Amino acid sequence: MSAFVNVPCIKITQPIGSFFIGSIKAKDLCEITKYDFRHLSNDEGFESYIGINRKVDPTREADIAKYVGTSDACFPTSIILAMPAVCVEYDEQDKHLKIQPYVNDEGVEEISFDKIATVLDGQHRIAGLKKGTYPGDFEINISIFIDLDIADQAYVFSTINLAQTKVNKSLVYDLFDFAKARSPQKICHNIAVALDKEEDSPFHKKIKRLGTSTEGRFNETITQATFIDSLIVYITNDRLQDREIYRKKSKPNLIDADELKTLFLRNMFIEEKDLEITDIVWNYFDAVKMRWPKAWLNPGRGEMLNKTNGFRALMRFLRPCYLHITLPGNVPTKEEYYKVFEKIDFNDEHFTIDEYRPGTSGESRLYHDLKDKANIP
């Protein structure tokens, strides 16, 4: 551990006061930071809530840890820190902030190196950096507040997190249109776009490309994110790693028969048989449309087969249905799928939200009903 860290930075003045914007090596950032988690304290018999940070989500931590090791890892927005004035010294001429532990007049260390900086925003990024493996020259841009009292720290934290608008997942997927390298996300996006665009497709103008209703359309019933999330699970169980492999001009290895029982479209993806994957989905939903035309085409209130719950249940049923008909790598016809659906003695009026309630319970129930009626294990 270093005795001190020199951070190149500039001083900024805003209504809240002055703070510093600088650049620090990821290793040094991980060493000086601590989290102030919100928790119940029972100090001296008095209960009170202290701390400002939310707990680190292990899933997000693991995702970021994996991400920081990729070749295009990037944190473009600042991590925000608060530090006590006794631990910093700013050189106006060289534009450097010296960060070091605080030792009192008696030579006793009162603020250790690993407790200098309190994280106001960015704890998941730091947790991911601590857990992951990244290049040694990974630099992080930071904003540093000096001697910010706990009330102001809480205000900065709450304002930042309340003001942030979560990016629509469908928009994120749609931006894979610009990606140059192959990836599961890009291919699933291409399939969604093709099925939405083609006039004789069972999904013609039914997919909300950006996650919200498209002007001039009236029959959109599922989002692009719902479509892609339901398809991609048959192609990969590590989309980030696959994307990284293709970015490095390489190619994933084919999987064996046992793995294909779950990822039954993976080898077709690796072999770049994207049109065949498209046909597998197209023919399947053409058979759905042929078997239950009113339920599939009617976007009315109370209907569910062509909406999120119904679509997800049908996509879950796609794998056992496909493997019941053929082996991975083949493309079943609409007629082959239809023979399976013929065994399911539900009429169009069966698929309502009264029968299958909104949420995962309704989706799961429909999936199991389809399997049971089709007599597929």
Where would I find the H helices in the chain? 26-32, 58-67, 123-131, 150-163, 169-174, 184-197, 224-232, 239-247, 257-260, 266-270, 274-291, 293-297, 308-325, 334-342, 360-374
Q: Do 211 and 150 share a structural domain? A: no
Instruction: Kindly state whether residues 142 and 191 are assigned to the same domain.
Output: no
The answer to whether residues 141 and 283 belong to one domain is no
Tell me: do 338 and 356 sit in the same domain.
Answer: yes
Last residue of a domain, one of 128, 148, 163: 163
Token couple for 99: 């960060």
C-alpha 41/C-alpha 20 separation (Å) is 32
Q: Which of 163, 187, 215 is the last residue of a domain?
A: 163
**Same domain for 213 and 314?**
yes
Residues 17 and 157 in one domain: yes
In this structure, the number of other CB atoms found within 10 A of the CB of residue 94 comes to 10
* Statement to judge: residues 178 and 120 lie in one domain: no
**Residue ranges making up the domain that contains 147:** 5-163
Give the per-residue pLDDT at 37: 61
Whole-Å CA distances, 330 to 222, 273, 323, 334, 374: 27, 11, 10, 13, 21
Residue 213 sits in the same domain as residue 158: no
Verify that 195 and 343 share a domain, yes or no: yes
- pTM over 0.85, yes/no: no
Residues 146 and 184 reside in one and the same domain: no
Domain end point (choices 163, 193, 211): 163
Q: What is the pLDDT along the chain (377 residues), one digit of tens a residue?
A: 568 899 999 999 998 889 999 999 999 999 999 876 665 555 555 555 555 556 788 898 999 999 999 988 999 999 999 999 999 999 999 999 999 999 888 777 789 999 999 888 888 999 999 999 887 789 999 999 999 887 777 777 777 767 666 778 998 899 888 888 899 999 999 999 999 999 999 999 999 999 998 888 888 999 999 999 999 999 999 998 999 999 899 999 999 999 999 999 999 999 999 999 999 999 999 999 999 999 999 888 889 999 999 999 999 999 999 999 999 999 999 999 999 999 999 999 999 999 999 999 999 999 999 999 999 98
Q: pLDDT at position 215, please?
A: 85
Give the pLDDT of residue 251: 95
Q: How many domains does the chain have?
A: 2
